């Protein structure tokens, strides 16, 4: 589990085919290798990946994770290339502060930026989501975009908006988003369970 609070921005440095529809992604990061357990979960732009290797290259820490067909199909990971910058978050430990909302790292689909409005030190971003996800998004509710936990401002049908505060602009890759860009979206788990409970038996 994660909280949607990005703790580092990594950079994809290698993509290596391992088998049919399986790629090993090597990501440079600021985490010391000896603090990354093999088998540990790390959210990469909101995608929960498992660390399978770690090390340093010219004093630059890195970890590697495998991405399979479903991950490549559902998320933006299939389009990552060396140089792609990636929001990173390590998994919660028992006793950690839950500063935002519970994020599973299971991406539901892609949201598309329709409008970016820059304001003084902030930005308002408007997104369109697949119709099947729209019912899980509510004003003042939470959503994870590329692994960043955000509060929804307004919702109309399949379109919603968020405000990006100065810290988030500085600490995440959301600062580079422009109209037409796609991001990984994970809807709030609580909204999903509530919708399920309201379905007819």
| Residue 48 among the catalytic residues | yes
| Catalytic pick among 26, 41, 142, 161 | 41
Distance CA 94, CA 42 (A): 16
| Residue 50 among the catalytic residues | yes
Distance CA 99, CA 49 (A): 21
| Residue 19 among the catalytic residues | no
SS (H, E, C) 168-194: HHHHCHHHHCCCCCEEEEEECHHHHHH
| Catalytic pick among 14, 40, 53, 68 | 68
User: For strand 60-68 and strand 47-57, is the pairing parallel, antiparallel, or unpaired?
Assistant: antiparallel
| Catalytic pick among 2, 23, 63, 136 | 2
Contacts of 73 (CB under 8 A, 6+ apart): none
| Catalytic pick among 35, 106, 139, 195 | 106
| Residue 2 among the catalytic residues | yes
| Residue 29 among the catalytic residues | no
Buried b (16+ CB within 10 A) or exposed e, 152-164: beebeebbbbbeb
| Residue 161 among the catalytic residues | no
| Catalytic pick among 7, 53, 134, 151 | 151
| Catalytic pick among 7, 40, 50, 104 | 50
| Catalytic pick among 48, 64, 77, 123 | 48
Distance CA 134, CA 156 (A): 9
Q: Could you give the residue numbers annotated as active site?
A: 2, 41, 48, 50, 68, 106, 151
């Amino acid at each position: 589990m994660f909280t949607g609070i990005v703790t580092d921005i990594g950079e994809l440095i290698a993509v290596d085919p391992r088998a049919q529809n399986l790629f090993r992604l090597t990501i440079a990061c600021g985490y010391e290798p000896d603090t990354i357990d093999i088998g540990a979960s790390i959210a990469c732009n909101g995608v929960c990946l498992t660390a399978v290797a770690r090390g340093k290259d010219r004093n630059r820490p890195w970890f590697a994770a495998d991405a399979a067909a479903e991950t490549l199909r559902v998320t933006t990971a299939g389009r990552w290339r060396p140089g792609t910058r990636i929001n990173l978050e390590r998994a919660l430990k028992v006793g950690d502060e839950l500063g935002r909302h519970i994020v599973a790292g299971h991406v539901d689909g892609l949201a598309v930026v329709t409008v970016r409005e820059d304001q003084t030190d902030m930005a308002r971003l408007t997104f369109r989501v697949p119709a099947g996800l729209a019912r899980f998004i509510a004003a003042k509710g939470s959503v994870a975009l590329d692994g960043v936990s955000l509060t929804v401002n307004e919702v109309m049908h399949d379109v919603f908006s968020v405000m990006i505060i100065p810290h988030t602009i500085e600490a995440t890759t959301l600062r580079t988003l422009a109209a037409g860009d796609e991001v990984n979206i994970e809807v709030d788990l609580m909204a999903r369970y509530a919708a399920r409970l309201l379905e007819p038996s």
